Protein backbone atom coordinates (compact mmCIF):
# COMPACT_ATOMS: atom_id res chain seq x y z
CA UNK A 1 0.00 0.00 0.00
CA UNK A 2 1.53 3.25 -1.16
CA UNK A 3 0.56 6.81 -0.49
CA UNK A 4 2.14 10.14 0.30
CA UNK A 5 2.36 11.43 3.85
CA UNK A 6 -1.14 12.13 5.10
CA UNK A 7 -2.86 10.10 2.37
CA UNK A 8 -4.58 7.94 4.98
CA UNK A 9 -2.57 4.70 5.02
CA UNK A 10 -2.26 4.41 8.80
CA UNK A 11 -5.86 5.55 9.29
CA UNK A 12 -7.08 2.83 6.95
CA UNK A 13 -4.97 0.18 8.68
CA UNK A 14 -6.22 1.34 12.08
CA UNK A 15 -9.81 1.09 10.89
CA UNK A 16 -9.23 -2.39 9.45
CA UNK A 17 -7.82 -3.58 12.76
CA UNK A 18 -10.58 -1.98 14.87
CA UNK A 19 -8.29 0.52 16.58
CA UNK A 20 -10.33 3.45 15.39
CA UNK A 21 -13.84 3.46 14.01
CA UNK A 22 -15.06 4.53 10.60
CA UNK A 23 -17.65 7.30 10.27
CA UNK A 24 -19.44 5.19 7.69
CA UNK A 25 -19.10 1.73 6.27
CA UNK A 26 -17.76 -1.41 7.88
CA UNK A 27 -14.78 -3.73 7.59
CA UNK A 28 -15.29 -7.42 6.86
CA UNK A 29 -12.61 -10.06 7.30
CA UNK A 30 -13.51 -13.26 5.47
CA UNK A 31 -17.08 -11.97 5.49
CA UNK A 32 -17.21 -11.25 9.22
CA UNK A 33 -17.47 -7.66 10.54
CA UNK A 34 -14.38 -6.81 12.61
CA UNK A 35 -16.13 -4.34 14.87
CA UNK A 36 -15.61 -5.56 18.45
CA UNK A 37 -15.34 -9.10 17.13
CA UNK A 38 -12.46 -11.09 18.62
CA UNK A 39 -12.88 -14.03 16.26
CA UNK A 40 -12.38 -11.78 13.25
CA UNK A 41 -9.59 -9.79 14.89
CA UNK A 42 -7.65 -12.92 15.77
CA UNK A 43 -7.07 -13.45 12.07
CA UNK A 44 -5.28 -10.13 11.84
CA UNK A 45 -2.02 -8.83 13.20
CA UNK A 46 -0.97 -5.27 12.70
CA UNK A 47 2.50 -3.95 13.24
CA UNK A 48 2.23 -0.23 13.75
CA UNK A 49 4.71 2.56 13.78
CA UNK A 50 3.34 3.81 17.11
CA UNK A 51 4.21 1.85 20.17
CA UNK A 52 1.37 0.40 22.19
CA UNK A 53 3.61 -1.75 24.35
CA UNK A 54 4.47 -0.76 27.95
CA UNK A 55 7.78 1.11 27.76
CA UNK A 56 9.37 -0.77 30.63
CA UNK A 57 8.46 -4.23 29.34
CA UNK A 58 11.21 -6.58 28.19
CA UNK A 59 11.06 -7.91 24.64
CA UNK A 60 10.83 -11.50 25.82
CA UNK A 61 7.81 -10.53 27.96
CA UNK A 62 6.19 -8.94 24.93
CA UNK A 63 6.75 -12.14 22.98
CA UNK A 64 5.24 -14.15 25.83
CA UNK A 65 2.15 -11.92 25.90
CA UNK A 66 1.81 -12.02 22.13
CA UNK A 67 1.62 -15.81 22.39
CA UNK A 68 -1.29 -15.41 24.86
CA UNK A 69 -3.30 -13.43 22.31
CA UNK A 70 -2.07 -15.23 19.20
CA UNK A 71 -1.64 -18.94 20.01
CA UNK A 72 0.03 -19.63 16.65
CA UNK A 73 2.88 -17.24 17.48
CA UNK A 74 6.09 -19.24 16.90
CA UNK A 75 8.34 -18.36 19.85
CA UNK A 76 11.21 -20.50 18.63
CA UNK A 77 11.21 -18.78 15.23
CA UNK A 78 10.97 -15.36 16.90
CA UNK A 79 14.02 -16.18 19.03
CA UNK A 80 15.90 -17.30 15.94
CA UNK A 81 15.08 -14.02 14.18
CA UNK A 82 16.08 -12.00 17.26
CA UNK A 83 19.41 -13.78 17.10
CA UNK A 84 19.82 -12.97 13.39
CA UNK A 85 19.02 -9.29 13.97
CA UNK A 86 21.15 -9.29 17.14
CA UNK A 87 18.25 -8.09 19.24
CA UNK A 88 18.69 -8.78 22.92
CA UNK A 89 15.48 -10.20 24.38
CA UNK A 90 16.28 -8.79 27.80
CA UNK A 91 16.13 -5.21 26.59
CA UNK A 92 13.12 -3.08 27.43
CA UNK A 93 11.05 -1.32 24.78
CA UNK A 94 12.16 2.13 25.96
CA UNK A 95 15.84 1.26 25.62
CA UNK A 96 15.57 0.43 21.92
CA UNK A 97 16.72 2.68 19.07
CA UNK A 98 14.27 3.58 16.29
CA UNK A 99 15.66 0.77 14.15
CA UNK A 100 15.38 -1.86 16.85
CA UNK A 101 11.91 -0.59 17.70
CA UNK A 102 10.93 -1.60 14.19
CA UNK A 103 12.92 -4.84 14.40
CA UNK A 104 11.23 -6.25 17.48
CA UNK A 105 7.84 -5.60 15.87
CA UNK A 106 8.90 -7.03 12.50
CA UNK A 107 9.88 -10.18 14.33
CA UNK A 108 6.41 -10.45 15.87
CA UNK A 109 4.79 -9.89 12.48
CA UNK A 110 6.88 -12.64 10.88
CA UNK A 111 6.27 -15.10 13.73
CA UNK A 112 2.61 -14.47 14.50
CA UNK A 113 1.15 -16.76 11.81
CA UNK A 114 -2.19 -15.02 11.38
CA UNK A 115 -3.83 -15.20 7.94
CA UNK A 116 -3.56 -11.41 7.57
CA UNK A 117 -0.54 -9.38 8.60
CA UNK A 118 -0.44 -5.63 8.21
CA UNK A 119 2.90 -3.84 8.45
CA UNK A 120 2.81 -0.07 8.72
CA UNK A 121 6.20 1.26 7.65
CA UNK A 122 8.06 -1.86 8.76
CA UNK A 123 11.51 -0.69 7.71
CA UNK A 124 11.42 2.66 9.51
CA UNK A 125 14.90 3.37 10.88
CA UNK A 126 16.38 0.11 9.63
CA UNK A 127 19.84 0.22 8.05
CA UNK A 128 20.32 -1.15 4.52
CA UNK A 129 21.55 -4.54 5.78
CA UNK A 130 18.58 -5.02 8.06
CA UNK A 131 16.13 -3.93 5.36
CA UNK A 132 17.67 -6.44 3.01
CA UNK A 133 17.35 -9.14 5.65
CA UNK A 134 13.73 -8.21 6.31
CA UNK A 135 12.70 -8.48 2.64
CA UNK A 136 14.40 -11.87 2.31
CA UNK A 137 12.82 -13.19 5.49
CA UNK A 138 9.43 -11.93 4.41
CA UNK A 139 9.74 -13.65 1.02
CA UNK A 140 10.95 -16.86 2.60
CA UNK A 141 8.10 -16.84 5.09
CA UNK A 142 5.59 -16.01 2.37
CA UNK A 143 6.88 -18.78 0.08
CA UNK A 144 6.69 -21.38 2.77
CA UNK A 145 3.43 -20.50 4.50
CA UNK A 146 1.43 -17.98 2.54
CA UNK A 147 -0.51 -15.37 4.47
CA UNK A 148 -1.68 -12.03 3.17
CA UNK A 149 0.95 -9.43 3.96
CA UNK A 150 0.10 -5.79 3.47
CA UNK A 151 3.01 -3.37 3.68
CA UNK A 152 2.75 0.36 3.77
CA UNK A 153 6.02 1.98 2.81
CA UNK A 154 7.70 4.99 1.29
CA UNK A 155 10.70 3.02 0.04
CA UNK A 156 9.01 2.15 -3.23
CA UNK A 157 12.01 1.07 -5.25
CA UNK A 158 13.01 -1.42 -2.60
CA UNK A 159 9.68 -3.23 -2.54
CA UNK A 160 8.94 -2.89 -6.23
CA UNK A 161 9.95 -6.46 -7.10
CA UNK A 162 8.89 -7.96 -3.80
CA UNK A 163 5.21 -7.13 -4.01
CA UNK A 164 2.45 -8.71 -6.05
CA UNK A 165 -0.37 -6.22 -5.80
CA UNK A 166 -0.42 -2.46 -5.40
CA UNK A 167 -2.91 -0.16 -3.72
CA UNK A 168 -2.27 3.56 -4.05
CA UNK A 169 -4.01 5.98 -1.72
CA UNK A 170 -4.36 9.65 -2.49
CA UNK A 171 -6.07 12.05 -0.10
CA UNK A 172 -8.09 9.32 1.57
CA UNK A 173 -9.17 7.62 -1.65
CA UNK A 174 -7.91 4.50 -3.37
CA UNK A 175 -6.79 5.62 -6.80
CA UNK A 176 -5.17 2.35 -7.93
CA UNK A 177 -5.82 -1.23 -6.89
CA UNK A 178 -4.24 -3.72 -9.26
CA UNK A 179 -1.49 -6.24 -9.78
CA UNK A 180 2.03 -4.89 -9.94
CA UNK A 181 2.41 -6.26 -13.43
CA UNK A 182 -0.75 -4.62 -14.76
CA UNK A 183 0.10 -1.30 -13.20
CA UNK A 184 3.68 -1.41 -14.48
CA UNK A 185 2.66 -2.44 -17.99
CA UNK A 186 0.31 0.48 -18.08
CA UNK A 187 2.59 3.44 -17.68
CA UNK A 188 5.25 4.63 -20.08
CA UNK A 189 7.19 7.73 -20.97
CA UNK A 190 7.66 9.21 -24.40
CA UNK A 191 10.54 11.61 -25.03
CA UNK A 192 11.76 13.72 -27.90
CA UNK A 193 11.52 17.16 -29.40
CA UNK A 194 8.74 19.28 -27.87
CA UNK A 195 6.70 19.57 -31.08
CA UNK A 196 6.81 15.81 -31.74
CA UNK A 197 5.87 14.92 -28.17
CA UNK A 198 3.02 17.46 -28.13
CA UNK A 199 1.60 15.96 -31.30
CA UNK A 200 1.93 12.40 -29.99
CA UNK A 201 0.15 13.05 -26.69
CA UNK A 202 -2.95 14.81 -28.06
CA UNK A 203 -5.21 11.77 -27.56
CA UNK A 204 -3.30 10.21 -24.63
CA UNK A 205 -3.89 10.17 -20.90
CA UNK A 206 -0.94 12.28 -19.75
CA UNK A 207 -0.13 12.15 -16.03
CA UNK A 208 2.96 14.32 -16.04
CA UNK A 209 5.43 16.30 -18.12
CA UNK A 210 9.13 17.05 -17.75
CA UNK A 211 10.86 19.54 -20.03
CA UNK A 212 14.49 20.37 -20.45
CA UNK A 213 15.62 22.71 -23.20
CA UNK A 214 13.98 21.69 -26.46
CA UNK A 215 13.27 18.19 -25.19
CA UNK A 216 10.17 16.99 -23.49
CA UNK A 217 9.14 13.80 -21.71
CA UNK A 218 5.47 13.01 -21.24
CA UNK A 219 4.31 10.33 -18.83
CA UNK A 220 1.33 8.47 -20.11
CA UNK A 221 -1.11 5.98 -18.65
CA UNK A 222 -2.20 3.42 -21.20
CA UNK A 223 -0.84 0.56 -23.24
CA UNK A 224 2.35 1.22 -25.10
CA UNK A 225 1.21 1.85 -28.69
CA UNK A 226 1.99 -0.97 -31.09
CA UNK A 227 3.54 -0.38 -34.45
CA UNK A 228 5.96 2.26 -35.59
CA UNK A 229 6.57 5.41 -33.63
CA UNK A 230 7.13 8.70 -35.39
CA UNK A 231 10.85 9.14 -36.10
CA UNK A 232 12.63 10.98 -33.26
CA UNK A 233 10.43 9.77 -30.42
CA UNK A 234 11.59 7.30 -27.85
CA UNK A 235 9.50 5.21 -25.52
CA UNK A 236 10.69 3.99 -22.16
CA UNK A 237 9.01 2.22 -19.28
CA UNK A 238 8.41 3.99 -16.00
CA UNK A 239 9.61 2.43 -12.83
CA UNK A 240 7.15 2.12 -9.97
CA UNK A 241 8.53 5.09 -8.08
CA UNK A 242 8.28 7.40 -11.06
CA UNK A 243 4.77 6.16 -11.75
CA UNK A 244 3.81 6.74 -8.14
CA UNK A 245 5.21 10.27 -8.11
CA UNK A 246 3.37 11.17 -11.30
CA UNK A 247 0.09 9.67 -10.09
CA UNK A 248 0.17 11.36 -6.70
CA UNK A 249 1.58 14.78 -7.62
CA UNK A 250 -0.76 17.64 -6.93
CA UNK B 1 25.16 -14.67 -8.65
CA UNK B 2 23.79 -11.24 -9.41
CA UNK B 3 21.04 -10.25 -11.81
CA UNK B 4 20.75 -6.59 -12.67
CA UNK B 5 17.09 -6.26 -13.49
CA UNK B 6 16.24 -3.55 -15.98
CA UNK B 7 12.95 -1.69 -16.09
CA UNK B 8 12.28 -2.27 -19.74
CA UNK B 9 11.11 -5.86 -19.57
CA UNK B 10 9.03 -7.83 -17.07
CA UNK B 11 11.08 -9.40 -14.28
CA UNK B 12 9.80 -12.93 -15.00
CA UNK B 13 11.24 -12.80 -18.51
CA UNK B 14 14.58 -11.65 -17.13
CA UNK B 15 14.57 -14.54 -14.66
CA UNK B 16 13.87 -17.01 -17.46
CA UNK B 17 16.71 -15.56 -19.54
CA UNK B 18 19.07 -15.70 -16.61
CA UNK B 19 18.37 -19.41 -16.14
CA UNK B 20 18.83 -19.96 -19.89
CA UNK B 21 22.21 -18.22 -19.74
CA UNK B 22 23.21 -20.34 -16.76
CA UNK B 23 22.22 -23.53 -18.61
CA UNK B 24 24.14 -22.44 -21.72
CA UNK B 25 27.19 -21.61 -19.59
CA UNK B 26 27.05 -25.05 -18.02
CA UNK B 27 26.30 -23.75 -14.54
CA UNK B 28 23.19 -25.95 -14.48
CA UNK B 29 24.06 -29.12 -16.44
CA UNK B 30 21.32 -31.24 -18.00
CA UNK B 31 19.49 -33.53 -15.59
CA UNK B 32 20.61 -31.53 -12.57
CA UNK B 33 18.40 -29.58 -10.24
CA UNK B 34 17.97 -25.82 -10.50
CA UNK B 35 17.26 -23.66 -7.43
CA UNK B 36 13.74 -23.71 -6.01
CA UNK B 37 11.16 -20.97 -6.35
CA UNK B 38 11.84 -19.95 -2.75
CA UNK B 39 15.58 -19.79 -3.38
CA UNK B 40 15.10 -17.61 -6.46
CA UNK B 41 12.64 -15.43 -4.61
CA UNK B 42 14.78 -14.91 -1.50
CA UNK B 43 18.05 -14.59 -3.40
CA UNK B 44 16.88 -11.99 -5.88
CA UNK B 45 14.29 -10.38 -3.61
CA UNK B 46 11.46 -10.98 -6.06
CA UNK B 47 7.94 -12.16 -5.43
CA UNK B 48 7.66 -15.97 -5.57
CA UNK B 49 4.84 -15.66 -8.13
CA UNK B 50 7.26 -13.80 -10.42
CA UNK B 51 9.92 -16.50 -10.04
CA UNK B 52 7.34 -19.20 -10.74
CA UNK B 53 6.14 -17.39 -13.85
CA UNK B 54 9.71 -17.18 -15.16
CA UNK B 55 10.39 -20.85 -14.56
CA UNK B 56 7.04 -21.81 -16.13
CA UNK B 57 8.15 -20.26 -19.43
CA UNK B 58 11.04 -22.73 -19.45
CA UNK B 59 8.77 -25.61 -18.47
CA UNK B 60 6.49 -24.83 -21.41
CA UNK B 61 9.47 -24.79 -23.76
CA UNK B 62 10.71 -28.12 -22.43
CA UNK B 63 13.95 -26.61 -21.10
CA UNK B 64 13.26 -27.61 -17.50
CA UNK B 65 10.83 -30.09 -16.04
CA UNK B 66 9.31 -30.75 -12.67
CA UNK B 67 10.00 -33.84 -10.60
CA UNK B 68 7.13 -34.19 -8.20
CA UNK B 69 8.05 -33.51 -4.62
CA UNK B 70 11.72 -32.94 -5.48
CA UNK B 71 12.04 -29.82 -7.62
CA UNK B 72 12.89 -28.49 -11.05
CA UNK B 73 15.48 -30.15 -13.29
CA UNK B 74 17.21 -29.19 -16.54
CA UNK B 75 15.84 -31.38 -19.33
CA UNK B 76 18.05 -33.62 -21.47
CA UNK B 77 18.74 -31.79 -24.74
CA UNK B 78 18.07 -28.39 -23.16
CA UNK B 79 21.39 -26.91 -24.32
CA UNK B 80 20.77 -27.91 -27.94
CA UNK B 81 17.24 -26.49 -27.81
CA UNK B 82 18.44 -23.21 -26.30
CA UNK B 83 21.20 -22.81 -28.86
CA UNK B 84 18.68 -23.28 -31.67
CA UNK B 85 16.32 -20.77 -30.12
CA UNK B 86 19.07 -18.22 -29.58
CA UNK B 87 20.32 -18.69 -33.13
CA UNK B 88 16.86 -17.86 -34.42
CA UNK B 89 16.88 -14.70 -32.32
CA UNK B 90 20.44 -13.79 -33.31
CA UNK B 91 19.42 -11.95 -36.47
CA UNK B 92 16.77 -9.84 -34.68
CA UNK B 93 18.73 -9.21 -31.50
CA UNK B 94 22.15 -8.49 -32.95
CA UNK B 95 22.39 -8.23 -36.72
CA UNK B 96 19.46 -5.91 -37.27
CA UNK B 97 20.52 -3.59 -34.48
CA UNK B 98 24.10 -3.60 -35.75
CA UNK B 99 23.03 -2.65 -39.27
CA UNK B 100 20.67 0.06 -37.99
CA UNK B 101 23.35 1.66 -35.86
CA UNK B 102 25.94 1.36 -38.64
CA UNK B 103 23.57 3.20 -40.99
CA UNK B 104 22.93 5.92 -38.42
CA UNK B 105 26.68 6.44 -38.03
CA UNK B 106 27.26 6.10 -41.78
CA UNK B 107 29.65 3.20 -41.37
CA UNK B 108 29.92 1.41 -44.72
CA UNK B 109 29.17 -2.27 -45.16
CA UNK B 110 32.87 -2.95 -45.88
CA UNK B 111 33.87 -1.16 -42.71
CA UNK B 112 31.39 -3.24 -40.73
CA UNK B 113 32.82 -6.43 -42.20
CA UNK B 114 36.33 -5.21 -41.30
CA UNK B 115 35.19 -4.55 -37.76
CA UNK B 116 33.67 -8.02 -37.54
CA UNK B 117 36.98 -9.51 -38.62
CA UNK B 118 38.78 -7.39 -36.08
CA UNK B 119 36.39 -8.74 -33.45
CA UNK B 120 37.23 -12.30 -34.41
CA UNK B 121 41.00 -11.59 -34.50
CA UNK B 122 40.77 -10.05 -31.07
CA UNK B 123 39.03 -13.20 -29.89
CA UNK B 124 41.86 -15.38 -31.23
CA UNK B 125 44.56 -13.22 -29.65
CA UNK B 126 43.07 -13.78 -26.21
My answer on whether B95 and B112 are in the same domain is yes
pLDDT in tens, B70-107: 999 999 999 999 999 999 889 988 998 899 899 989 99
My answer on whether B16 and B68 are in the same domain is yes
- Which of B6, B41, B47 is best to mutate for the A interface (most A CBs within 10 A)? B47
My answer on whether B33 and B65 are in the same domain is yes
CB pairs under 8 A between A and B: 45
Domain count, chain B: 2
Distance from CA of B37 to the nearest CA of A (A): 8
Is residue B6, in this structure, part of any structural domain at all? no
| H-helix or E-strand spanning residue B115 | helix B109-125
Contact residues of A toward B, CB < 8 A: 132, 135-136, 139-140, 142-144, 161-164, 180-181, 184-185, 236-239
pLDDT of residue B98: 92
Residue ranges of the alpha helices (H) in B25-77?
Answer: 37-44, 48-60
Residue numbers in B near A188 (CB within 8 A): none
Quickly state the pLDDT bin for A52 (edges 50, 70, 90): confident
| H-helix or E-strand spanning residue B74 | strand B71-74
Is residue B2, in this structure, part of any structural domain at all? no
Is residue B1, in this structure, part of any structural domain at all? no
Estimate to the nearest angstrom the gap between the alpha carbon of A239 and the chain centroid: 16
- Which of B3, B6, B7, B9 is best to mutate for the A interface (most A CBs within 10 A)? B7
CA distance A193 to A138: 45
CA distance A71 to A42: 10
pLDDT of residue B18: 94
My answer on whether B16 and B66 are in the same domain is yes
* For A160, nearest residue in chain B (alpha carbons): B46
Q: Which own/partner pairs from A205-214 qualify as long-range (CB within 8 Å, at least 24 positions apart)?
A: A207/A246, A207/A247, A208/A245, A208/A246, A208/A249
Rounded-to-10 torsion of CA A74, A80, A83, A84? -110
Average pLDDT over residues B23-48: 94
Residue ending a domain, choose from B36, B55, B76:
B76
Is residue B5, in this structure, part of any structural domain at all? no
pLDDT in tens, A195-244: 999 999 998 989 889 999 889 999 998 888 777 777 788 888 888 998 99
My answer on whether B60 and B92 are in the same domain is no
Give yes or no for B32 touching A (CB within 8 A).
Answer: no
Q: Which residues contact A10 (CB under 8 A, 6 or more apart)?
A: A48, A49, A120, A152
Tell me if residue A91 falls in helix, strand or coil: coil
ipTM: 0.81
Domains of chain A: 2-163 (3.40.50.300), 187-248 (no CATH)
- Which of A143, A151, A180, A191 is best to mutate for the B interface (most B CBs within 10 A)? A143
Rounded-to-10 torsion of CA A203, A204, A207, A209? -70
Is residue B33, in this structure, part of any structural domain at all? yes
Is residue B4, in this structure, part of any structural domain at all? no
Residue numbers in A near B47 (CB within 8 A): 139, 161-164, 180
pLDDT of residue B123: 64
Average pLDDT over residues A98-123: 96
CA distance A147 to A149: 6
Nearest to A161 by CA among B36, B58, B19, B50: B50
Read off the CATH number of the domain in which B69 is found.
1.10.10.10
My answer on whether B47 and B84 are in the same domain is no
**Spatial strand order in the sheet of A187-193:** A205-212, A215-221, A187-193, A234-237
Its domain, for residue B39, covers: 11-76
**Least confident residue range of A26-35, A81-90, A126-135, A147-156:** A26-35
Residue B119, classified by CB atoms within 10 Å of its CB into exposed (0-12), middle (13-18) or buried (19+), is exposed
Amino acid sequence: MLGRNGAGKTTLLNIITNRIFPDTGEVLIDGIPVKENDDALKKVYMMSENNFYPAGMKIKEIYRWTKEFYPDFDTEYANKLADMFELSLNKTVKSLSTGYNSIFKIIIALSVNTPYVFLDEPVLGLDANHRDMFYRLLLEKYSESPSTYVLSTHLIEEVSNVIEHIIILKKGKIIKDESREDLMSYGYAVSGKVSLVDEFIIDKNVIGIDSIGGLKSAYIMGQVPKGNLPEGLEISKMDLQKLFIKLTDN
Amino acid sequence: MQINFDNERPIFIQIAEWIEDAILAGAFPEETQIPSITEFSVNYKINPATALKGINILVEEGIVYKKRGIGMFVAAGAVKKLKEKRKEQFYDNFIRKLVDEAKRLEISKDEVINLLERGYDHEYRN
